[in-house]
Amino acid sequence: MSNTMAQIKDLKFFSGLKRRHLEVLAALAKEIEVEKGTYIFREGDDALRCLVVLSGDVALELPMQGRDPRTVQTVHDGDVLGWSWLYPPHRWTFDARAVTDVTALVFDAEQLRAVKDSDHELGFQLMTRFGKVMVSRLQATRMRLMDLYGNGD
């Protein structure tokens, strides 16, 4: 088994996928290392990649004129980083900055879109998983909107 295959198999995000689908994904993935402080992508750039964090912390930030950027969320080991590549116009809506040294699996967005469109079963499996991630992030965001720790006052 290739190293990439082993990494993909270990990720909770891909658990339950058929072996042939894992192989397709493994063939598309490569591991990258990002140094602490580096921007992995920036708001407004074309979303050319899909990432899954293997280790380290990444901050999703909203740059603000004349002020420090605000961190809207951090993602960590095993988390998916970014889904702007899924839908047109395929542009990032936040900055992603490595808070620590980061290793991640990277997929080429165009290839991943092609695989998803040509193999509907794999496409369905992937979309289900991304849907779950989106729902849980939306719920987490709603919880923060209602000021979970302050009794709403």
Instruction: Out of 74, 93, 118, 128, name the contact with another protein by CB under 8 A.
Output: 74
Q: Is 144 in the site for another protein (CB under 8 A)?
A: yes
Q: Total residues contacting another protein (rule CB under 8 A)?
A: 25
Q: What whole-number distance in Å separates Cα of residue 153 and Cα of residue 138?
A: 22
* Position among 48, 69, 108, 113 found at the interface with another protein (CB under 8 A): 69
Per CB under 8 A, 123 contacts another protein = no
Name the 3-class secondary structure at 57.
coil
Residue 117 burial by Cβ neighbours in a 10 Å radius (0-12, 13-18, 19+): exposed
Q: Which residues contact 134 (CB under 8 A, 6 or more apart)?
A: 83
Residue 25 as a binder of another protein (CB under 8 A): the answer is no
Dihedral angle sign, alpha carbons of residues 144, 13, 122, 91: positive
**101 touches another protein by CB under 8 A:** no
State yes or no: residue 147 binds another protein (CB under 8 A): yes
Q: How far is the CB of 117 from another protein (least distance, A)?
A: 31
